[in-house]
Amino acid sequence: MNVFDDPDNPDGDACRGDKWVGPGRTDTQVQLVISLALGLSAFLAFCILRPRWKSLYAARKRHSDPLLHLPALPDSLFGWIPTLYHITEQQVLSSAGLDAYVFLAFFKMSMRLFGALFVFAAFVLEPINRRFVDSRTHDPSGPQSFLFRQYATYRSYEHASPFDESDGPDQDPDSSFNRNMGHLWSYLVFTYFFTGLTLYFMDRETSKVIQVRQDYLGTQSTVTDRTFRLSGIPRELRTEAAIKDLVERLEIGKVESVTLCRNWRQLDRLVEQRQTVLAKLENSWSAYLARKPGDRAGGESNGDSGLGNDETEVPGGPDEEAGESERLLRGSSARRFAERERPQTRFWYGFLHLQSRKTDAIDYYSEKLRQLDDKILAARKKSYEPADLAFVTMDSIAACQMAIQALIDPHPGRLLTKPAPAPSDIVWKNTYAPRLSRRIRSWTVTVFVAVLTIVWLVPLAFLASALSICTIDKFLPSFGEWLRAHEITRSLVQTGLPTLVVSLLNIAVPYLYDYLSYHQGMLSQGDIALSAVSKNFFFTFFNIFLIFTVFNAVTSIFDVLRNSLKDTTYIAYTLARKIEELSVFYTNFIMLQGLGLFPFRLLEFGSVAQYPLLRLAARTPRERAALARPPPFCYGFYLPTALLVFILCLVYSALPGGFLVLGLGLAYFSLGYFTYKYQLLYAMDQPQHATGGAWRIVCYRVVLGLVVFQLTMSGYLALRKAFTVALLVAPLFVATLWYGWDFRKRVEPLTRFISLRSIRRAAGPPEGGDRESESAVSEEGGVAGPEERRRRGVFRRGSTVDEDREKGLRFVNPSLVMPLEQPWIYQDPPPPLVESEVDEVAAPPGFDGPESSGRGYETPPRGAPGASSNSSSSVSLGDTHVWRD
């Protein structure tokens, strides 16, 4: 159902010429108004709310180290913009880390590239189009357009036999050397020129990113930089001493420590259960303290009600602990707290847990917490079966890099070395999972994503065709007539609504793929983040770009594939035809993403909308403290859409009217750069530690975009019967593929490892001052001068973000060493328990209770906060009872 179907065929499914109302200039104008209205309103709201809600819009700045040297943003309406603009790349690297630098480098490269392409497309190529291209080519509203006539000629040969040499489009005269069609050669020239310009900008930015990465990682000294991951360990080597002896016999350096992963599943489950019980206990305390005491006869006077005051009734009020002690001394606390109704919970016991009864919730969960603490302490002393994975920490970065970049064992799959993730980045439950189990999970997720990709075809293909006037006329003719009479409403239905739905899919679907990536069995959060980027881009590119262009509908997929087997150029023809047909759709898509939705991301509309609900749902101090933490910045949610916009800008760059798409692309990446720069520096935190690995993903997707661009231009020229010109795109296509292959061999290793020449010892951190990195060797192998040292130096503030983040960390499963947290009941967090304290009295913080002869988490005595009004009772938890006197 498209404009290129034969309008003279009344029996076909095509839209007739008198019924077709295609997207035109009005659709773009309506979308521009909508995007500007959404964007300006969100931007102004952000400027007004930013100085008022610093706990949200400056969350990272408020919780970060003051040594980050980030400038304070003015509280004026627009005064923060110049300050943010003047923050340099070195400050971004120093305060946000390497991953943030690489992410913003892609946006900065795109700004420069599309700025240059826009100049050539607008001032060189567009005048050629206006002078030589038939004006009817730009009018998709009429089925008798120039492109329709050219494609109709080709379409008449679609079902011809591929062996019939007397018939087919190849018999048409080649217009490549027609003087009236000479302007088509300009498309070939600009295809080569734009491809070369793209590769030049990408290669230059790649060199810069690699140099910064090597300098950044080569001058810092963290436990991660000195540690490598050793997998495929045979059973006879699964001891710390054997692994240490093996590595040291390689004579690459001295082993500082070895962490052999073991099957800690039982311990990790106990820790997870403890977190659940701890949350339930804190909720019980919050429910108890939130209840007002009953009013008994002979109660206190109004002036001595105590809990009627705000400062004592609400947990966390001012001077709460002092007020509590004073009331206890007065002797009035016992009566008031005894009048509170204690929360109850139901627990199941007996054969198959078929019996149940209610009991005091605070006592029940306190006893369960005490029992779990005993089990955890006992589990920490057990020995566990070793796994085939270990983390080996060397005494130097150079020794670690030599181990990573070398083959250790001659047998396949044994003693494989890879860079180790940061200790805080490790998903420990996957370290002791068998390799076969991880592979099965990985392939299961991969197959599920492939099946899900096919499932997405149904709603997306329906969306691609259901909102056209043709479909509406077929099923709702009266509504179609009404839309034809109201131009703006028709534009909203036919173009604005699909654009909005696709944009919402781009926001919602990444959550699903992020969940799938997490359950794929990867060992680090950084690997999970990169996997989420790949999966989400696959969805964005395949389901949104290819389905909307090449296939258009589910039933068309098999037709396209069948015709492609007959004629290898069919996909290029179809791609060029549909790309030009959907130019308005993709123009509106880029416009909405850049002008309309980026300000909403700056506003953090989702966090703002959810905050009141989350604030009401947060009952415990721990939950309320979690609301103040900076939200995580997930690259998999934002990078795939930016890569799709990059590809769209490339594809439309040399087509008629491509300067408009390039201008919108320039606006998209400019707004995106400042939006994400603000969020990465001031508002959001990055839990991942991928050491800039997203750059290789970016480069491969740029090469893919160039391939699609060249196929589109070749098909576009072939549709105009310029077969010779179209064929001359082939060498460029081959050269681009070769560049991608060469990138993998030449550049990719430098995005994974640290070169030995980049490893430099620091000049020693002077107290209170910055540390300068030194390198005695220059690029050419001679002695590096001061100018080269300044050029290669990385802005230092004594330590990098990674060094601060990993200070004091070790490659140890947190379940083995982390302190056991006490219930957080009042405003200030309680100190964690150490092992020696678990066997002692651990009364809930915030009140003073007498000593007790029991163990574990004792409930307060009668008359204190949380005391039961009953004289005595017991809670049965298997073989253990806790008694209250």
For the chain, the domains span 25-216+435-751, 225-264+384-420, 267-296+313-381+817-884
Q: Is the pLDDT of residue 519 over 70?
A: yes
> Residue by residue, what is the 3-state secondary structure of 794-854?
CCCCCCCHHHHHCCCCCCCCHHHHCCECCCCCCCCCCCCECHHHHCCECCCCCCCCCCCCC
Mean pLDDT of the chain: 76
Q: Per-residue DSSP letters for 606-648?
A: HHHHHHHHHHHH--SHHHHHHHTSPPB--HHHHHHHHHHHHHH
pTM here?
0.79
pLDDT digits (tens, 9 = 90+) for 267-295: 999 999 999 999 999 999 988 888 776 54
pLDDT, greater one: 143 or 461:
461
Which tokens sit at 734?
Answer: 């081959």
pLDDT digits (tens, 9 = 90+) for 55-98: 888 888 776 665 567 888 888 889 999 999 999 998 888 888 88
Q: Which residue is listed with tokens 């408009």? A: 660
Q: Is the pLDDT of residue 373 over 90?
A: yes
Q: Are 215 and 758 in contact (CB under 8 A)?
A: yes
Give residue 26's pLDDT.
63
First to last CA, the chain: 81
Give residue 367's pLDDT.
92
Question: If you average pLDDT over each of 708-712, 782-786, 827-831, which comes out highest?
Answer: 708-712
Q: Is the pLDDT of residue 154 over 50?
A: no
Q: Are 395 and 256 in contact (CB under 8 A)?
A: yes
Give residue 399's pLDDT.
92
> Residue by residue, what is the 3-state secondary structure of 35-86?
HHHHHHHHHHHHHHHCCCCHHHHCHHHHHCCHHHCCCCCCCCCCCHHHHHHC
Q: Are 690 and 517 in contact (CB under 8 A)?
A: no
Give residue 556's pLDDT.
55
Q: How confident is the model at residue 466 (pLDDT cuts 50, 70, 90)?
A: low
Average the pLDDT over 185-213 and give the result: 94
**Coil, helix or strand at residue 167:** coil
Q: Are 418 and 522 in contact (CB under 8 A)?
A: no
* Of 99-108, 577-586, 789-798, 799-808, the least confident: 789-798
Give residue 829's pLDDT.
79
Q: Is the pLDDT of residue 310 over 50?
A: no
**Coil, helix or strand at residue 793:** coil
Average the pLDDT over 174-196 and give the result: 87
Average the pLDDT over 34-44 and give the result: 92
Average the pLDDT over 412-424 and give the result: 91
Which percentage of the chain shows pLDDT scores above 90? 32
Q: How confident is the model at residue 107 (pLDDT cuts 50, 70, 90)?
A: very high
Q: Is the pLDDT of residue 885 over 60?
A: no
pLDDT digits (tens, 9 = 90+) for 334-370: 455 556 788 888 888 888 888 888 899 999 999 999 9
**Coil, helix or strand at residue 777:** strand
Q: How confident is the model at residue 628 (pLDDT cuts 50, 70, 90)?
A: confident
Give residue 783's pLDDT.
41
Average the pLDDT over 150-167 and give the result: 39
Q: Are 688 and 531 in contact (CB under 8 A)?
A: no
**Coil, helix or strand at residue 512:** helix
Average the pLDDT over 555-569 and give the result: 56
Q: Is the pLDDT of residue 461 over 90?
A: no
**Coil, helix or strand at residue 405:** coil
Q: Is the pLDDT of residue 16 over 50?
A: no
CATH class of 225-264+384-420: alpha beta
CA-to-CA distance for 605 and 683, rounded, in angstroms? 13
Give residue 229's pLDDT.
94
Query: What counts of helices (H) and strands (E) characterise the chain?
Result: 37, 8
Average the pLDDT over 252-259 and give the result: 93
Which tokens sit at 80?
Answer: 């923060």
**Coil, helix or strand at residue 434:** coil
Q: Is the pLDDT of residue 110 over 70?
A: yes
Q: Are 442 and 251 in contact (CB under 8 A)?
A: no
Per DSSP, 418 falls in state E
Sheet with strand 416-419: strands edge to edge: 255-262, 386-394, 227-231, 416-419
Give residue 562's pLDDT.
59
CA-to-CA distance for 190 and 729, rounded, in angstroms? 11
CA-to-CA distance for 199 and 194, rounded, in angstroms? 9
Per DSSP, 781 falls in state S
Q: Are 360 and 340 in contact (CB under 8 A)?
A: no
* Of 37-41, 131-135, 249-253, 828-832, the least confident: 131-135
Q: Is the pLDDT of residue 316 over 50?
A: no
Give residue 204's pLDDT.
95
| Pick from 511, 489, 447: nearest CA to 640 | 511
Q: Are 526 and 518 in contact (CB under 8 A)?
A: no
Q: Is the pLDDT of residue 771 over 70?
A: no
Give residue 493's pLDDT.
73
Give residue 558's pLDDT.
55
Give residue 612's pLDDT.
80
Q: How confident is the model at residue 555 (pLDDT cuts 50, 70, 90)?
A: very low
Q: How confident is the model at residue 24 (pLDDT cuts 50, 70, 90)?
A: low
Give residue 29's pLDDT.
81
Q: Per-residue DSSP letters for 473-488?
A: HHH-HHHHHHHHH-HH
Q: Are 440 and 519 in contact (CB under 8 A)?
A: no
Q: Are 312 and 323 in contact (CB under 8 A)?
A: yes
Question: If you average pLDDT over each of 189-198, 774-783, 865-874, which comes out highest?
Answer: 189-198
CB neighbours (10 Å) of residue 148?
Answer: 23
* Of 488-492, 722-726, 878-882, the least confident: 878-882
Q: Is the pLDDT of residue 35 over 60?
A: yes
Give residue 97's pLDDT.
85
* Of 314-323, 432-441, 472-481, the least confident: 314-323
pLDDT digits (tens, 9 = 90+) for 472-495: 767 777 777 787 777 777 777 766
Residue 393 β-bridge partners: 227, 257
Q: How confident is the model at residue 391 (pLDDT cuts 50, 70, 90)?
A: very high
CA-to-CA distance for 796 and 221, rounded, in angstroms? 13
Q: Is the pLDDT of residue 136 over 50?
A: no
At 453, phi and psi to the nearest 5? -60, -40
Q: Are 456 and 539 in contact (CB under 8 A)?
A: yes
